[in-house]
Amino acid sequence: MSDPLDKATSSAPATLGEGCLSRYDPDALTPENGTEFEGAAELWESLQPVADASDEASGKQKP
């Protein structure tokens, strides 16, 4: 890496599938890709009551 601008580049991880079925390859994802989010489950749970309450306030029914 002799060019100092090489440090400022990024590349996407490998993908599987094509077109609208394209997705990142889970086996190719690493913590360097930002795939670790330990608080994801807690965040999801904390947002669920808010979503349910807003649906009830707007009169939407669950499917």
Domain ranges of the chain: 11-58
The pLDDT value given to residue 28: 87
Enter the tokens of residue 26.
């889970």
Q: Which residues make Cβ contacts (< 8 Å) with residue 61, sequence separation at least 6?
A: 55
What is the rounded distance in angstroms from the CA atom of residue 26 to the CA atom of residue 16?
9
User: Cβ distance 13 to 29 under 8 Å?
Assistant: yes
Q: Tell me the per-residue pLDDT of 31-42, one tens digit each, with 9 for 90 and over.
A: 778 777 888 889
Distances (CA, A) of 27 to 7, 12, 36, 56: 24, 13, 13, 40
- Model confidence, pTM: 0.41
Average pLDDT, the chain: 78
